Amino acid sequence: MRFAKGHGTENDFVVLPDFEDDLVLTPALVTRLCDRRAGIGGDGVLRVVRAAAAQAAAGAGNGSGNGWRAAADAGNGWAEDGWAEDGWAEDGWAEDGPDGPGEPAAEWFMDYRNADGSTAEMCGNGIRVFARYLLDHGLVRDLAFTVATRLGPRRVRAEPDGSITAEMGVPAILGPGRAVIGGLECAGLRISLGNPHLAVLVGTPVDGFDLSAAPLLDPAEFPEGANVEVARVTGHRQAEMRVHERGSGLTRSCGTGAVAAAVAAAVASAGQGAAPGTGPGTVPEAANGTWTVHVPGGRLAVTLVGRASLLTGPAVIVAEGELDDAWLSGADDH
């Protein structure tokens, strides 16, 4: 089995090329791959699958069916909120949307797994690393293309400076929420980017908060758990953030978490609230703009525009290799 190792702002991943959807990616294998002492090490696994192969396997009920079913249930793999209504024409993105004449269907499906083997709806750093792998291996024809995910299609684009921009969808502000972080009860804003977040704005440096253990959440607010971000505004459209990721723990960065932190900071800085429960599109116009979010692993840019959000940052493939057959054969024994 071939693999690659990559990271985006030190949020690191094991990349598994499985073009024809042949691999049964068990939780045991994922956790073993992500083990930093006995495996390759990573915050998660990115499986690279041809979208047609994943869709066919799910439809036929054979093959691995690793993840396409959730996307298909959302509407043949395409989530309606995956594209901004304005088409982002001013930013050079296609106006036609995923079904328009100028936009081909996604050729590749990103099957993302957390380090504990659980599935996740989206990974902002992961999709950029996924895109970097496709670009480096000549698996896409253009510098801007579409990736299929469990949330539907997401556009990505390689930038002239080597960074990658990815569409993160419509931030849905769901209202206030609470968590106990390191024994401290903290109030925050519940935000969904397809995966759940609690963004807690604080007035002191974020490294003073203990995120080594999973924050305690109200199951009524977060029945499926959540990523918890602690963020502080440090300047004009500047923020710092640390995160405890659902299924992965304390990580050096989180792409969707950076977007959630930027949304919370932008709403607060604009002096406008967002009505709870109103769903997507609740980020006020005054909060639009680009925020720089500093994380332990580097720096990310989050652009809030209209009903959409974009994430820009580095994506690096650091090594490639082949898993040892004897090691791999023992994956299910651990």
Residues taking part in catalysis: 123, 254
Long-range contacts of 73-77 (CB under 8 A, 24+ apart): 74/150, 74/151, 74/152, 75/152, 77/51, 77/106, 77/109, 77/148, 77/152, 77/153
- Distance of alpha carbon 309 from alpha carbon 290, whole angstroms: 9
- Distance of alpha carbon 246 from alpha carbon 250, whole angstroms: 9
Query: Under the phi-then-psi rule, with left for phi > 0, alpha for psi from -120 to 50, and beta for the rest, what region is 269?
Result: alpha
Can you say how many angstroms the Cα of residue 317 is from the centroid of all Cα atoms in its chain?
17
Looking up tokens 């990974």, which residue turns up?
A: 123
Contact 257, 212 (CB under 8 A): no
